[in-house]
Amino acid sequence: MGRIVFINRYFYPDHSATSQMLSDIAFGLQGTGRTVSVITSRQRYDAPEEQLAAYETVAGIDIHRIRTSRFGRHNLVGRAVDYITFYISSAVALMRLVRSGDVIVAKTDPPMLSVLAAPIAKLKRARLVNWLQDVFPEVAQVLGMGRGGISRSVFSLLYWLRDRSLKAAGANVVLGERMKEHLIAHGVAPEKITIIPNFADGTLITAVAREQNPLRASWGLEDSFVVAYSGNLGRAHEYLTLLDAIARLEKDPQVPPQSNAQTPSPPMPRILWLFIGGGALYEAFRAEVTKHGLTSVRFEPYQPRERLAQSLSAGDVHLVSLRPELEGLIVPSKFYGIAAAGRPTIFIGHADGEIARLLAQNDCGITVGEGDGAGLANAILALADAPQRALAMGKNARAAFEKHWDKKAVLQRWRALLDESQ
């Protein structure tokens, strides 16, 4: 049996989302009759100046860390240079390391690694599996790149190269039905597409009851109904719907404040909004909250992995959003942690989006349209007024999680796919 060679810009001990997902799968596969290697950079996601060891073996996995530029993700030109140097160094590493019979699993950080990996896999008589966390170049165009005649020509070439590399692969792993439908529309054969969703660790993230959660007390959430947003608030999302709903609920006379006779400070609001994390739009959203004088919003930083059960359980309901034009290109991975914590989800996006479908199929949440602040406020009030309904949706979410999105269940699907690939 040949080796499995993963390639992605970040890997253990980095804690970014793509790194954690890959690390969980790679370590889960190692020691089950498979030999696993990883080609990655020497950087950390939030610390590009850091230099990890060029080579090490961790839990039986050979980690090959290649040299790249280290401008980081905050500068667009610098990020492009980081991508280019990663492409060049990873091509050299693949040529050196891959042997006949190996399986190359190429993720999408940096974008379109399949274009690089496909000809090398063919030359080396290896099998290529593309693991698509998102679909480029479509995402780049939706987010505002590719304007003008020259850019259109460049993107046309990128589409052609990308489609050709996906068609040449032995398998393409996508995150959901909408993404599968998108690839089929681009001519990728259905039999070359396998749906394996992202996941969370159901032993790490469990439901923590309100009265047993130390974070609710330390964050001053008290008895409010907490609407949480946990994770990245980035360019794939928008926050105007949130601002509208927050303002509506703060002005709504049907939402009286909670009484708190033990303290002379202002009483806690009945509906409290909790934002945990960061992202490209996070500070802009925070500034808007301050500008509009909204007082029912709390902000907390990213929480360590070992505290995720408590932080995710701090919310009575969680928000997940995705711009409708990105459906089929991205699936918000924060949903799986929410389900693991046994909490319902309100999805803000396309009524027939991937998350919207999952919520309807498993009766574990509500979908409202982007821009519908009134609908979002009403959905929150409906759950706050029917706490048993919210609890039931949370239990449904955890049951569906254990069946479909727990790390153990997803690992089994990866093992089955890789067995077919060798």
Find, among 38, 95, 97, 41, the residue nearest to 68 by Cα. 41
Tokens 């990883």 found at: 38
Contacts of 62 (CB under 8 A, 6+ apart): 36, 37, 38, 55
Average pLDDT (131-149) is 86
| Interstrand relation of 225-232 and 36-41 (parallel, antiparallel or unpaired) | unpaired
Average pLDDT (257-266) is 51
Residue 372: its pLDDT value, please? 98
**Domains annotated on the chain, with CATH:** 4-199+407-421 (3.40.50.2000), 210-405 (3.40.50.2000)
pLDDT at 261 over 60: no
Q: pTM for this structure?
A: 0.92
Indicate the average pLDDT of the chain.
Answer: 92
Residues 15-72: pLDDT tens digits? 888 899 999 999 999 877 789 999 999 988 877 788 999 999 999 999 999 999 888 7
Is there a contact between 403 and 409 (Cβ–Cβ < 8 Å)?
yes
Whole-Å CA distances, 76 to 204, 241, 366: 35, 28, 36
Find, among 331, 314, 415, 275, the residue nearest to 17 by Cα. 331
Contacts of 339 (CB under 8 A, 6+ apart): 200, 345, 364, 397, 398, 400, 401, 405
For 76-85, 146-155, 215-224, 268-277, which range has the lowest pLDDT when averaged over its residues?
146-155
Within a 10 A sphere around the Cβ of 164, how many other Cβ atoms?
14
Residue 334: its pLDDT value, please? 96
Residues 199-258: pLDDT tens digits? 999 999 999 999 999 999 899 998 899 999 999 999 999 999 999 999 999 997 556 555
Residue 124: its pLDDT value, please? 97
Residue 267: its pLDDT value, please? 67
CA 79 to chain centre: 20
Q: Cα separation of 204 and 132, whole Å?
A: 25
Asked if the peptide bond before residue 13 counts as cis, ω within 30 degrees of 0, the response is yes
Q: Cα separation of 220 and 197, whole Å?
A: 35
Residue 1: its pLDDT value, please? 67
Residue 147: its pLDDT value, please? 64
Which H/E stretch holds residue 317?
strand 317-321
| Interstrand relation of 55-58 and 61-66 (parallel, antiparallel or unpaired) | antiparallel
Q: Cα separation of 410 and 400, whole Å?
A: 13
The two structure tokens encoding residue 270: 């009945």
Average pLDDT (281-303) is 96
pLDDT at 178 over 60: yes
Percent over 90 (pLDDT), the chain: 82
Residues 69-83: pLDDT tens digits? 888 776 778 888 989
Residues 106-137: pLDDT tens digits? 999 999 999 999 999 999 999 999 999 999 99
Which H/E stretch holds residue 228?
strand 225-232
- Sheet strand arrangement including 365-368: 297-300, 271-278, 225-232, 317-321, 345-348, 365-368
Whole-Å CA distances, 249 to 272, 344, 373: 10, 19, 10
Is there a contact between 195 and 174 (Cβ–Cβ < 8 Å)?
yes
